[in-house]
Amino acid sequence: MKANRRTDTKPELALRHALHRLGYRYRKDYRLDLDSGRRVRPDIVFTARKLAVFVDGCFWHACPEHGSKPKANEWYWGPKLVRNVERDRVNDAALMLDGWTVVRLWEHVPIDEAVTTVVTALAAAGAVTRGQPHANNGQPHANNGQPPGNPASGDDPLR
Ligand SMILES: [Zn+2]
């Protein structure tokens, strides 16, 4: 088995599998090159709906419940963890600037709750994009009544 601790943490795997079972298709470990020049690699990416999901480790991303400051080697870990958290926030901002929806889940979040959060975010993101394609189309079938001032039906679609 390949040990890839960065991408295949257990909570992240569980979430991916659950989403897959529900019929959702996504990309994992997919690098996004943002307009700002930043490169971000969310844990789960839904490209069509522009939804980026991160499953953040409680230690590495300084979860308020479990991310208590490490006692050993504080001089080393303290600044490192602060940088991680700062990078998270900068990445979030860059993603949102490019029109992405960002979902961050702590690894301690129960799987059901994590799935619900992602599914809800997907529905919201999908609703936005679905509304747009029809916005500036003509409606060929909508106007059955004659438009005022054009009784001769000069643009008969049957011809
Ligand atoms: Zn936690």
Q: How confident is the model at residue 71 (pLDDT cuts 50, 70, 90)?
A: confident
Between the CA of 109 and the centroid of ligand 1 the distance, in Å, is 8
Phi/psi for 91 (5° steps) reads -65, -45
Q: What is the pTM of this model?
A: 0.73
DSSP state of 65: T
Cβ atoms within 10 Å of 60's Cβ, excluding its own: 16
In angstroms, the CA 39 to CA 101 distance is: 16
- Residue 3's pLDDT is 46
- Residue 73's pLDDT is 77
Between the CA of 4 and the centroid of ligand 1 the distance, in Å, is 21
**Paired residues of 51 in beta bridges:** 46, 101
Token readout for 149 is 């001032």
- Residue 140's pLDDT is 45
Residue indicated by tokens 């619900």: 116
Between the CA of 44 and the centroid of ligand 1 the distance, in Å, is 19
- Residue 6's pLDDT is 55
CB-based burial, 70-90: b 16+ in 10 Å, e otherwise: eeeeeeeeeeebeebeeebee
Segment among 70-74, 118-122, 150-154 with least mean pLDDT: 150-154
**Paired residues of 105 in beta bridges:** 55
For 57-77, what is the mean pLDDT? 82
Between the CA of 9 and the centroid of ligand 1 the distance, in Å, is 14
CATH architecture of 25-114: 3-Layer(aba) Sandwich (3.40)
